[in-house]
Amino acid sequence: MNQADKKQLIAMATEIRKGAVEAVHSAKSGHPGGSLSASDILTYLYFKGMNIDPQDPKNPDRDRLVLSKGHVCPGYYSTLAHRGYFSTEELKGFRQIGYMLQGHPDMKKIPGVDFSAGSLGQGVSAACGMALAGKLDNKDYNVFAICGDGEIQEGQIWEAAMFAGAKKLDNLCVFVDNNNLQIDGTVEEVNSPYPIDAKFAAFNFHVITIDGHDFDQIEAAVEEFKTVSGKPTAIIAKTVKGKGVSFMENNVGWHGKAPNDEQYEIAMNDLNAILAEVK
Amino acid sequence: MAEMMKKATRQSYGEALVELAKTNPKVVVLDADLAHATQTIMFKEVCPERFFNAGIAENNMIGVAAGLSTCGYIPFASTFAMFAAGRSYDQVRNMLGYPHNNVKICATHAGISVGEDGATHQCNEDIALMRVIPGLVVMNPADDTEAKACIKAAVDYQGPVYIRLGRMACPIFNDPETYKFEMGKGVQLKEGTDVTIVATGLMVYEAIVAAEKLAEEGISAAVVNIHTIKSLDSEIIVKNAAKTGCVVTAEEHSIIGGLGSAVAEALAEGCPVPMVRLGVNDEFGHSGPAGALLKEFGLTADNIVAKAKEAIAKKK
């Protein structure tokens, strides 16, 4: 990736993070930590990796994305808004009565949302169904799913992984946002999912481990996925929960809490400093 | 009544799927390693390219069906009622119900008539679980003719549907040549003036027999077949209750949360009259031959007769 493109993606990811923090601050509730850890993955997919058109969000030939860890929708909504599916003004109505941006993604209400999510562990199954439909229709679209590293404690994830491997869904790519934290502590403290890569490999996935904040690595992994035949791909993305906001980074307390006004100012200053550096 | 042809509604389902394989290229079928029991195997035999076995993983099966539906397919997903409605409740609610995805769950082996497999497999709670999910249509056909009509209606309907099917062969009392089915509309099988019997599933035939026995004793019983438990045809229930002054419900399901509860809700708001619920009481089943279990749990025409008399006595 050339430097100009990379700078553009970093700037966009930072704007997306600002939108996510703004949404949570304005709602006085929501999930900032995981939104910030997944922002670079979302940015890459919606601004480079996926074949999508915000003006035609239901196009049957489009690539699809299922945000299985649906609670990190502040980052997702901010991505969709910045990509042009709807106005960034909508972010201020997040979680409010009379507005479309629900506390968890709603495919019926929100343009660009390919599948509803919220109850953890379910999204990879839906993504498998979409990938299977692509095979049946002889279409060449790809389906992406994003899971949390805590979320993969859910058994249904492994039912879906077994299915995807057994049915050779090579048009399916599962990202694991491996930020190492969940509500009650580190993933190891709570109930360790490690080794994550070996688990997916055992379910007949092609597995790639990357730094989930490095756009070169994200791009290389997605391009590699597109070349893999006969098996699904899992991209284990090592990330930092709360990435970009100093006091949220690697802090378990920021899973599902809104910043107060003072914290909001600090967060915006942190993110604006990144923007200034890139520009 | 003359001896009738019998067929299990799961068999009707398999036959209906074979028709759909020929006529509707958007129909796909999923099963969870029970294809020989649910009869989806019949579809696989004629249309293997549109049949997917999820293995023993029902939650994923429902999710895969949901994903397929977003791409324009009409998935039929099958397993036993216990696992479709029980194990996969969250998936049915959040992946099918909430997004109103166009998936048809055909759950076989419902109720006590599962027989020998015993309590773990005898789901007497599925109607209760399914009818509380907003926007999910719940149907419980009474015989082969009606089961096929339910499946056809489910294909024509845009949205999630739960169809409750049985393992045991039941009399085919609806004439396929003349039977008219409308989703959400009860069927007036017999007019009456003394008591209304509202039945669903395999208890509908028992209700017809019960009404004949009551007639022999000079009691005029109306019989209403509720094949669609949701949306419930409250109108036909209220109309009959107003005419007869008392109601008996009959179902192969817990008396809590099923047809009896749905009818009680309709009557409480529309026409409060004495009623008696016949179904599986608040208890689990156990192993045994299906017919013997139905007798033991009182799911018989004779017991409907007894309950009808109880209901009539309550009027005084």
Q: Is B116 a catalytic residue?
A: no
Question: pLDDT tens string for chain B (316 positions)?
Answer: 557 899 999 999 999 999 999 999 999 999 999 999 999 999 999 999 999 999 999 999 999 999 999 999 999 999 999 999 999 999 999 999 999 999 999 999 999 999 999 999 999 999 999 999 999 999 999 999 999 999 999 999 999 999 999 999 999 999 999 999 999 999 999 999 999 999 999 999 999 999 999 999 999 999 999 999 999 999 999 999 999 999 999 999 999 999 999 999 999 999 999 999 999 999 999 999 999 999 999 999 999 999 999 999 999 8
**Residue in A closest to B72 by C-alpha:** A133
Nearest beta carbon to residue B73 from set A107, A133, A155: A133
Compute the distance between CA of residue A149 and CA of residue A178 in angstroms, rounded to an integer. Answer: 5
Contacts of A167 in chain B (CB under 8 A): 52
**Other C-beta atoms lying within 10 Å of the C-beta of residue A62:** 18
Compute the distance between CA of residue A45 and CA of residue A40 in angstroms, rounded to an integer. Answer: 9
Contacts of A129 in chain B (CB under 8 A): 63-71, 75
Q: Strands B104-108 and B161-164: what pairing? A: parallel
Provide the H-helix boundaries in B83-162: 89-91, 126-131, 144-156
CATH code given to domain B6-171: 3.40.50.970
Two structure tokens written together for A74: 């502040």
Compute the distance between CA of residue A98 and CA of residue A85 in angstroms, rounded to an integer. Answer: 19
Strand residue runs (E) in chain B: 6-7, 27-31, 51-53, 74-80, 104-108, 137-139, 161-164, 170-171, 187-190, 195-199, 221-225, 228-230, 247-254, 275-280
Residue B173 CA neighbour count, 13 Å, CB half:
19
Dihedral (CA of A69, A71, A76, A77) sign = positive
According to DSSP, the residues that pair with B77 across neighbouring strands are: B30, B105
- What are the structural domains of chain A? 3-278 (3.40.50.970)
Is the model's pTM score more than 0.90? yes
Please determine, for the modelled complex, whether the ipTM score is greater than 0.95.
yes
Angle separating helix axes A32-44 and A73-83, nearest 10 degrees: 40
Same fold, B6-171 and B187-314: yes
Dihedral (CA of A151, A154, A155, A157) sign = negative
Compute the distance between CA of residue B225 and CA of residue A145 in angstroms, rounded to an integer. Answer: 45
Interface test with A, best of B64, B89, B158 (most A CBs within 10 A): B64
CA triplet B189, B190, B192: central angle to 5 degrees? 150
**Residue in A closest to B70 by C-alpha:** A130
Interface membership of A125 toward B (CB under 8 Å) = yes
Interface membership of A163 toward B (CB under 8 Å) = yes
Dihedral (CA of B56, B57, B62, B67) sign = negative
What is the domain partition of chain B in residue ranges? 6-171, 187-314
CATH architecture under which domain B187-314 falls: 3-Layer(aba) Sandwich (3.40)
- Residues in B 83-142 with any Cβ partner in A closer than 8 A: 90-91, 94-95, 98-100
